[in-house]
Amino acid sequence: MFWQQARIRLADTRFNRAFFISLITDGWKDCRMVVRWILFGVVLAGLVRAFVSPEQFGAYFGPTLAGLGLTVLAATIVEVCSEGSTPIAADLLTRAKAPGNSFAFLMTGVSTDYTEIMVLRDTTKSWKIALFLPLLTAPQVIVIAWLINGVAL
């Protein structure tokens, strides 16, 4: 069904100048929100690099259980957008040498994000179901991150 519809739509598409202009302008309009969050993440990662030495960063956010806990706490507070969290997760991977913490930073940020919890609450009309998102996913993410840190060492 999908491939049949895809062939029909592709056959109806006219690859002319108007199509490419529309593609570029729509792409530019739609990417501005994502680029804004990426820029925020780059600035935040730059501030961390400027004010926190690699030794301190590695000591606090290293591949230890305490570092993992601090990473999860920071992810819960900082998470505003996954795109913006990526530069900080890259620093956790490269500067702190903690691949599991990098994974945990990206994943727990999403699982404890206010927006996702509220969308679930509005969709299901239940606080219990909405609060199961962080309750079920955060422990799984922590265990997987701990295993990744253990394997990577």
Classify residue 120: in a domain, yes or no: yes
Please tell me which residue, 11 or 151, carries the higher pLDDT value: 11
Assigned domain for 12 exists: no
Q: What pLDDT shows up at residue 99?
A: 94
Asked whether residue 1 is domain-assigned, the answer is no
Is 6 a member of any domain? no
pTM: 0.75
- What is the domain extent for residue 52? 17-152
- Alpha-carbon gap, residue 111 to 113, rounded angstroms: 6
In this prediction, residues 40-65 reach a mean pLDDT of 91
9 occurs within a structural domain: no
Tell whether 75 is covered by a domain: yes
**What is the mean pLDDT of the segment spanning 19-26?**
92
Strand segments, DSSP code E, in the chain are none
The CA–CA distances, whole Å, from 58 to 52, 70, 82 equal: 10, 12, 22
27 assigned to some structural domain: yes
Of 29-38, 100-109, 141-150, the range with the lowest mean pLDDT is 29-38
pLDDT at 152: 58
What mean pLDDT do residues 134-150 have?
A: 93
Q: What percent of the chain has pLDDT over 70?
A: 98
CA proximity to 75, closest of 54, 102, 98, 40: 102
Domain-located, residue 3: no
Question: What tokens appear for 3 in the block?
Answer: 């491939």
* Number of domains into which the chain is organized: 1
